[in-house]
Amino acid sequence: MNSLRSVGNWPDIRGIFFAYDLNKRNIVLADRGRGMLTTLKAVKPGLKTHKEALMVGFTEIISGRFPERRGNGLKSVARNILSNNVELLYRTGNAQLDLKKGDEQIKIIECQDFHGCYAVLKF
């Protein structure tokens, strides 16, 4: 796998992890930063669980920078996954989302706790 680090919000190492293997048709992104729940609580304080944060992140348009129209990134990812032959595994905290073409709804399960977020795309 090839990898690249850029500036991120990791507690011990600056940057994100990005790797891909075109032969295996995988892309991996990881950020050991604050995670989705902590990030989204800044603009939606009522969030209590990582599962709730994942659902909001993938279904609701929210922004802490009024009047900017931000918060569309993961919704766009979900639309592209559902309409193409791509699979996504996305984890943050103790929640995991698995999404693929043909899924009729977003399914989120509890999993082993993870500090930050990571995504695996299979194409």
- pLDDT value at residue 61: 83
Number of structural domains in the chain? 1
* Pair type for strands 2-6 and 16-21: antiparallel
Contacts of 14 (CB under 8 A, 6+ apart): 5, 7, 8
Q: Which structural domain, as residue segments, surrounds residue 100? A: 2-122
Contact indicator for 3, 26 with CB cutoff of 8 Å: no
Q: What is the pLDDT of residues 54-89, one digit of tens each?
A: 999 999 887 656 555 566 789 889 999 999 999 999
Mean pLDDT of 30-44: 89
- The rounded percent of the chain whose pLDDT value lies above 70 is 81
For 97-110, how does the pLDDT look when each residue is reduced to its tens digit (9 = 90+)?
999 999 998 999 99
